[in-house]
Amino acid sequence: MLVQHSANAQAAAPDVRIKEAANDVSVSFLRGIVETMAVPRHYELQPENNRLTARWIARQLCSYGYDAELQGEYANVVARSRNAPNTPCVLVGAHYDSVPGTPGADDNASAVAALLACAKALAGHAPECPVCFASFNREEDGLLGSADFVRTIGTEGRISIREAHVLEMVGYCDHRPGSQAIPPGLPIQIPDHGDFLGILANKDSTAMASTVLQTARTYWPGFPVLSLKVYAGVEKLLPVLQRSDHAPFWKAGIPAIMWTDTSEFRNHNYHQPTDTPDTLDYDFLRSVSQILIATVLTSVQN
């Protein structure tokens, strides 16, 4: 069963502190992250770029005040708040590798930019927040990094995760009619213009998706957000719903949602050398980053 929802619920009263934290995100910050990362960085075919990218992300997180490390066989970058090391956390994740030969500006530097913007804002405005940031490697090789991460935290018990927000391509926007396609096999209707943020949830994470929709409505009522909530294990029948790093969390029974601009169903540069920084909409990316910050802060308060 597939259920589609949009951000049209009654808005709640905004929290001034949350709004202030979200408003700290700038277009220039996001653009700088994307431009820095936008080199081919596949794990096997561009290993030096891949290693340099991981270390660079770790340095950014450390500079914001987090304890960051390279975790596991595939060097996932993992950072935790120093002020809440043992509290079940809200995780924000995004893979940093790219397919061979593409600079991967949308896939997935845009998502890492949103992750870093969230980390920086929370460090400055809510350092006590129980959060964890994970930038996964080898998503483009069958989700190997995130699968290893989920296995490790399950067996070692190093990090207790309340919920995971996984970002997968969040920087491409196209307002033209006909710019948005529907993934094959999904019996849903969506707008035909690609200017909305998509949220994908399963049976364990419908409340998370509802929080995103409510947060967007409260703080940015003019920004379109659509949620696809999957029930009754339908995701097992539709592989298109399990193509990113949220899937290992779903498999482990950890509540997780994917945030996306819908990738190739909107962005014709998907997995192409043309996936460059100049093709992104940084105002769109800023809005996604702001909603992410506000959602994480709302979630940890509940």
Per-residue pLDDT tens digits of the chain, which is 302 residues long: 334 455 555 567 889 999 999 999 999 999 999 999 999 999 999 999 999 999 999 999 999 999 999 999 999 999 998 876 678 899 999 999 999 999 999 999 999 999 999 999 999 999 999 999 999 999 999 999 999 999 998 667 678 999 999 999 999 999 999 999 988 877 778 899 999 999 999 999 999 999 999 999 999 999 999 999 887 666 665 677 889 999 999 999 999 999 999 999 999 999 999 999 999 999 999 999 999 999 999 998 87
User: In the chain, how many domains are there?
Assistant: 1
Measured between alpha carbons, how far is 237 from 219 in angstroms, rounded to an integer?
Answer: 35
pTM of the predicted model, to two decimals? 0.95
d(CA 126, CA 81): 10
Domain CATH for 44: 3.40.630.10
| Beta pairing class for 161-168 and 256-260 | parallel
pLDDT at 60: 98
The domain of 63 spans 2-301
The structure tokens 């307002």 sit at 175
Asked if residues 192 and 180 have their Cβ atoms less than 8 Å apart, the reply is yes
Q: What count of Cα atoms within 13 Å lies in the side-chain half-sphere of residue 191?
A: 20
